[in-house]
Amino acid sequence: MINPKTFGLLVLCFLMLQFSNISAQENKKNTSTRPKQNSTNIKSTVVATVGKEKITYEEIEKAYSKNLAKKNTPFHLLPKDSLLDFVNLYLRYRLKVNDAFLRGLDKDPNVVEEIKQNRRLLAETFYFEKKLVEPNVERMLKYREFDAQVSYIFLQFPSDNPDTLPTYNRALKLIELLKKGEDFGKLAKDSSQDRETAERGGLILNFITGGKVQRPIEDAIFSLKVGEYTEQPIRTKFGYFILKLNKLVPRTKVKGKHILISVGPNRDTTSAFRKADSLLNLIRIGADFSRLAEENSDDPASAMRGGDLGGWYSRSSGLETSGRFFTTAFEEALYSLKDNEISKPILTEYGVHIIKRDSTGFFNRDEDREELKRLYKRLYYESDKKEFIEKLQRSYGFSIETTTLKKFLSLVDTTKTAMDTNFLKTEFPSELQKSVLYKLQDRNFSLESFINTLKTKQEYKSTSLNTAGITNAISKLVYPIVIDEATKNLEEENQEFASMIREFRDGILLFRVEALEVWDKLKFDSTLAYQYWEKNKSKYKTHPSYELYEIYVLSDSLAQAIYNRIKNNEDFEELAGQFTQRANLREKKGFWGKVTTRESKLAQKLFEMNAQAGQIYGPFQFDDGYSIVKVSNYEAPREKTFNEAIPDFATDVQEIIQKNLLERWLAKAQKQIPIKINHKQLDLVVDTLKKTSTK
């Protein structure tokens, strides 16, 4: 029998991993209007030119899908005016980039260096996405097409003996018995050390799908055919598994309803079945299922919803809303029905059920992909990446000269780090400095250069001066060389990456040229600003303002008593100094100073009351208390002066200046780099795609 603590670890290792469903970040595509594959060639039609650059319809369409939020509407189905607006917007963008090339900005050393630095980061990310993330996610996504019912035999590693070979041999013997025809369930019951599942012949009650169990288990399950078992033990952290695939069914989700007739002290099973039969007869002659559930079901949570089970349910994930699983008998009955079909009475531990299956749903592949991508990156990516890098290093001839490493370690204090400047215990022999410490791609790297790195580069200062620390530091130095080598031909090998780098380069060029022609010239023009104000000054007015004193208290009765004293000619300010409970205003005798309706809710309240100078108002409820206010001065709204209004319209003026600079620049650029739209070709492509998408 496995002890509870060990069994908890086993469950962590093998059984369902609970992950929140993550909604896909991408917009769902409208497949009903997606052009058929035979429309690909027409999209390569050149529909415009910017100077010597030819612009295809496909290029514009891709830009639209990347940059516009309304991706549910395919580009070719946009209204003609909207389509042309985007075409012109894209051509202006290409005009700017072409102007940058014409100026030679692509050869600017700063631009070249910026592209080079960022290319490595982009290449590394893209490379591992293609080599690791996408293949692994697609593999799990393939598994997600199915729900699997599995049984297993578990043999635990002994806690008091690090030798796992005896456990492995026991697993092999059980597999040999299976090959000779022994029953899997009987062997599981007799031999599995997970006694909970052993009692069921090794059966796991819940179905399994991609991304729900640890990877070695998952890979083994989905490599089997129904009825097969693993012919090699599957090793995990806690022991060996022998797995058997019992069922493999398409992964679907269903919605349903039920009526529960509970069994208890006041109703035995026979009576429950009798009542269920009578309800079922009523349903068969036309009674409303939901109404009967509301009136008769002993499951109060679903009864109030007309028997609704609470949303979509799947065999491998349970209810979408809670993750809760139904009992095996209930689940089997629900999935055995067709949509709108009603079951015969079904007995479970809760009582007798009448089940109705309402509808069948299918999972969104894009949402699953995003969820599995996050799961993979969280659980497996780093270890896979480490293993992949080690293989790359070996393929490029990487090795560490252990003799040199041992000599070096014999001369240093291995309890220190490279941060300690006196880490050498003795004088460092010059011949040892020239010795090769590691090799990569037929290049030799000396111990001297490595020590210089430890001393001069901040990121290596924390290196521990022991075998593990030095090895890690060398791997860190080798890593960028390996990545550069692995990705050096990425543009030629992958069109997607080539496009990404071009877009990145064009983005840098766009920023540089636009800075030269617009942003660096964008200065506030006071003459233009004054002209703008003269035309629009009636729009800019001051806010109503009040100079006021306040007595604020929390008690209605106290406020009324203070107000009565004011009416009896006691000094308002003296009373404010005694009683106001507003923070920091007692010493100011309640004086707020000048406040406007824009910044003060109290001033807004007075304005709504049409308050006038020289008057006292209150008490009235305000800020969870009661206020009495004396207005000493009031200034009505007036037209702002030019200087007062500048903050209000400065942004508008800047936008005018920016637009003027931009238009002058583009008009000048277009004289050298003409833009031309071939409307006939554009219309032909759009019309063809419209016809194709409706077939």
Total length of the chain: 695
Domain match, 284 and 349 both:
yes
Compute the average pLDDT of residues 81-87. 95
156 part of a folded domain: yes
- Which of 312, 330, 362 is a domain's end point? 362
Structure confidence at residue 637 as a pLDDT band (50, 70, 90): very high
What's CA 576's distance to the chain center, in Å?
Answer: 55
Q: Which pLDDT does position 191 carry in this prediction?
A: 96
Residue 32: pLDDT band with limits 50, 70, 90: very low
- Residue 472 included in any domain: no
Position 31 pLDDT exceeds 50: no
Q: What is the pLDDT of residues 68-81, one digit of tens each?
A: 655 578 999 999 99
Overall domain count for the chain:
4
Tell me the C-alpha distance between 172 and 72, whole Å: 55
Strand order, beta sheet including 675-677: 53-56, 46-50, 675-677
Q: By mean pLDDT, which of 84-93, 287-296, 429-438, 563-572 is the weakest? A: 429-438
Mean pLDDT of 535-556: 95
Which has the closest alpha carbon to 238: 223, 211, 212, 216? 216
User: Looking up tokens 């027409």, which residue turns up?
Assistant: 42
Q: Specify whether 186 is located in the same domain as 298.
A: no
The b/e string for 523-537 (b: 16+ C-beta within 10 A; e otherwise) is eeeeeebeebbeeeb
Q: Are residues 257 and 348 in the same domain?
A: yes
Residue that has been written with the tokens 């969280």 in this structure = 378
pLDDT single digits (tens) 427-481: 778 889 899 999 999 899 999 999 899 988 999 989 999 999 999 999 999 999 9
Q: What is the CATH number of the domain that holds 182?
A: 3.10.50.40
Q: Can you tell me the distance from the alpha carbon of 335 to that of 317, in angstroms, rounded to the nearest whole number? A: 14
Q: Are 64 and 89 in contact (CB under 8 A)?
A: no
Q: What gap in Å lies between CA 59 and CA 90, rounded to an integer? A: 10
Express each pLDDT in 155-180 by its tens digit.
999 988 889 999 999 999 999 999 99
Q: What is the pTM of this model?
A: 0.73
Task: For residue range 98-140, list pLDDT tens digits in order.
Answer: 999 999 999 999 999 999 989 999 999 999 999 999 999 999 9
Look at residues 226, 248, 270 and tell me which one is the last residue of a structural domain. 248
Per residue, what are the HEC states of 351-362? EEEEEEEEEEEC
CB 191 within 8 A of CB 172: no
| Domain-located, residue 695 | no
Buried/exposed code over 173-187 (b: 16+ C-beta within 10 A; e: otherwise): ebbeebeeeeebbeb
Rounded distance, CA 116 to CA 506, Å? 14
Task: Using the predicted structure, report yes or no on whether residue 15 has a pLDDT greater than 70.
Answer: no
Exposure pattern of 566-604 as b/e (b: 16+ CB <10 Å)? beeeeebeebbbebbebeebbeebbbbeebbbeebebbb
User: Which residue segment(s) compose the domain that 273 sits in?
Assistant: 253-362
Confidence of residue 35 (pLDDT cuts 50, 70, 90): very low
pLDDT recorded at residue 160: 84
Check whether residue 624 and residue 652 sit in a common domain: no
The pLDDT of residue 414 is 86
Residues 188 and 271 occupy one common structural domain:
no
Pair (654, 565) in one structural domain: no
Output the average pLDDT for the chain: 91
Summarised one tens digit per residue, pLDDT across range 345-388 is 999 999 999 999 999 999 999 999 999 999 999 999 999 999 99
Q: Exposed (0-12), middle (13-18) or buried (19+): which is 305, by Cβ within 10 Å?
A: middle
List, for residues 552-563, the tens digit of each pLDDT value. 999 999 999 999
The pLDDT assigned to 374 comes to 96
Residue 256 pLDDT greater than 80, yes or no: yes
Does residue 408 have a pLDDT over 70?
A: yes
Same domain, 181 and 268: no
Contacts of 666 (CB under 8 A, 6+ apart): 92, 95, 96
Lowest mean pLDDT among 89-93, 161-165, 227-231, 423-427: 423-427
| Residues 6 or more apart in contact with residue 678 via CB below 8 angstroms | 46, 47, 48, 49
Does residue 170 fall inside a structural domain?
Answer: yes
